[in-house]
Amino acid sequence: MYTAEIITVGDEILIGQIVDTNSAWMARELNLSGVKVNKITSISDNAEAIKTALSEAEQSADIILITGGLGPTNDDITKRVLAGYFGSIRMIVHEPSLKFIETRFVKRGIAMNELNKQQAEVPDCCTVIPNNHGTAPGMWFEKGKTVCVAMPGVPSEMMKMLPDVLVLLRQKIALPEIFHKTLMTYGISESELAKKIEIWENALPENIALAYLPNIETGVKLRLSSYIPDGKQIIEEQFNRLIDVLGKYIYGYEPDTLESVLGELLFKKGATVATAESCTGGRIAHRITSISGSSAYFKGGIVAYSNEIKTSVLDVDPADIEKFGAVSSEVARQMAEGALKTFNADYAVSTTGIAGPTGETIDKPVGLCWFGITTPNSTKTFSYNFFCDRQGNIAGASSIALNALRLQLIEL
């Protein structure tokens, strides 16, 4: 099995200013491609540290992925260090990259300076991997049997460049057959899930590995992995057996999300949806509209943060707010019904709760949220209590709302 080391360069990692999410992304993608990651190292923007890390990695890994330090400013030294390490004689201008950078600046109507132009310079001993989403090109170096690929540290740029790197790797080395598939569940806890699928899990064939991946926004994912030739078929058969066991807890397979699955259901039905959000503050609308094509089924949403707006825009009865409180079944019901009417939609969902950390009352703790789901015929309400911080409570409540809409749609 081929092995890899990941090196991330940047003082901002070593002083704890940012969390190194790039490493996890690269590690996962390498793993999915059948490459074993031995080690992840984060080092400073310092020439000696970079050289030492490269030389240590070279001794034990077939593949080195290095990110960061490729920006236009003086503190970004990775490119110069790589040039020296891999024996470059001079820097050359990579014309396609220069053209791309120039076009980018022209489009934006910004003047280009010397630093920007220098972004297109690369060591003469590397192969360029185009960066179509930023100004720092990727660089592929070879030394003996080791491949070293440098990518920008900006996560979105690295994430878009990595598939091209994996294609090139596959051209150079024979990566093993590997197959992963991830089933998405929502509405069941990790331990409940483990109980429910215990028999199935114990009967899994050898060479098929199971992982539980819980997350407040996506629910618990179940990933099966195989490293054998007919693994794809076995994994699909195994997952099919779970359909009866887990039923509606299953909402899809990676890369499905609650919002993408909901979008497909709405699109197929030719139905539309609207949102009325209080404590989730626009997060549900944001998730629905993060799906390209959502304009076909998303009519719109209201973030009704104040009672005044709940009344004036969504037509919630102020007497009910007074009587039951804004965080109540009655208000959730009227918000959902108000959104349905205002937006002339087929379905609507509402949230009203206490995201925290302040706003708690004796009978209404932080994390409590009431939900309303309405159709032209009926409205349901229900509540849930999260025990997270503000961001977690908002994320969790938005997922519950999306999942409730999904269940409503598959029930009909």
* Nearest of 385, 384, 373, 372 to residue 412 by alpha carbon: 373
What string marks each residue from 188 to 217 as x (binds its own copies by CB under 8 A) or -? -xxxx-xx-----x-------xxxxxx-x-
What string marks each residue from 309 to 338 as x (binds its own copies by CB under 8 A) or -? x--xx-------------------------
Residue 173 or 211: which CB sits closer to its own copies? 211
- Contact yes or no for 63/30 (Cβ under 8 A): yes
CB of 133 to its own copies, least distance (A): 7
What string marks each residue from 53 to 82 as x (binds its own copies by CB under 8 A) or -? x--x--------------xxxxx-------
Determine, following the binding rule CB under 8 A, whether residue 99 of this chain makes contact with its own copies.
no
**Total of chain residues touching its own copies, rule CB under 8 A:** 113
Q: Which tokens hold the place of 237? A: 């058969």
Rule CB under 8 A: choose which of 127, 207, 361, 391 binds its own copies: 391
Q: Which tokens hold the place of 375? A: 């159709």
- Cα–Cα distance list, 354 to 107, 281, 384, 394 (Å): 45, 11, 11, 9
Q: Interacting stretch for its own copies, rule CB under 8 A, among 121-129, 185-193, 239-247, 328-336? A: 185-193
CA distance 157 to 133: 6
Rule CB under 8 A: choose which of 223, 232, 248, 380 binds its own copies: 223
Residue 113 or 361: which CB sits closer to its own copies? 113
Q: Using CB under 8 A, which residues numbered 243 to 262 contact its own copies?
A: 254
Q: Report residue 131 CA to chain centroid gap.
A: 21
- Cα–Cα distance list, 90 to 114, 127, 142, 146, 166 (Å): 18, 14, 17, 22, 27
Q: Using CB under 8 A, which residues numbered 140 to 159 contact its own copies?
A: 154, 156
Report the chain's C-alpha Rg in angstroms: 26
Residue 59 or 378: which CB sits closer to its own copies? 59
Q: Using CB under 8 A, which residues numbered 19 to 38 contact its own copies?
A: 19-21, 23-31, 36-38
Q: Interacting stretch for its own copies, rule CB under 8 A, among 139-147, 232-240, 315-323, 382-390? A: 382-390
Q: Interacting stretch for its own copies, rule CB under 8 A, among 79-87, 165-173, 294-302, 371-379? A: 294-302
Q: Using CB under 8 A, which residues numbered 267 to 286 contact its own copies?
A: 275, 277, 280-286
CB of 59 to its own copies, least distance (A): 11
3-state secondary structure 124-165: CCCEEECCCCCCCCEEEEEECCEEEEEECCCHHHHHHHHHHH
Determine, following the binding rule CB under 8 A, whether residue 137 of this chain makes contact with its own copies.
no
Q: Interacting stretch for its own copies, rule CB under 8 A, among 41-49, 139-147, 234-242, 403-411? A: 41-49
Residue 146 or 280: which CB sits closer to its own copies? 280
**Beta-strand runs (E) in 238-361:** 250-253, 273-277, 298-303, 347-353
Rule CB under 8 A: choose which of 89, 90, 108, 240 binds its own copies: 108
- Contact yes or no for 101/120 (Cβ under 8 A): yes
CB of 92 to its own copies, least distance (A): 21
How big is the CA angle at 144 (ends 141 and 146), to the nearest 5 degrees? 55
Q: At what angle do helices 155-172 and 21-32 cross, to 10 degrees?
A: 30
Determine, following the binding rule CB under 8 A, whether residue 180 of this chain makes contact with its own copies.
yes
DSSP SS3 for 182: strand
Determine, following the binding rule CB under 8 A, whether residue 364 of this chain makes contact with its own copies.
no
Residue 125 or 304: which CB sits closer to its own copies? 304
CB of 77 to its own copies, least distance (A): 12
Residue 32 or 142: which CB sits closer to its own copies? 32
Query: Buried (b) or exposed (e) across 53-85, using 16+ Cβ within 10 A?
Result: bbeebbeebbbbbbbbbbbeeeebbbbebbbeb
Residue 41 or 238: which CB sits closer to its own copies? 41
Q: Which tokens hold the place of 51? A: 């050289």
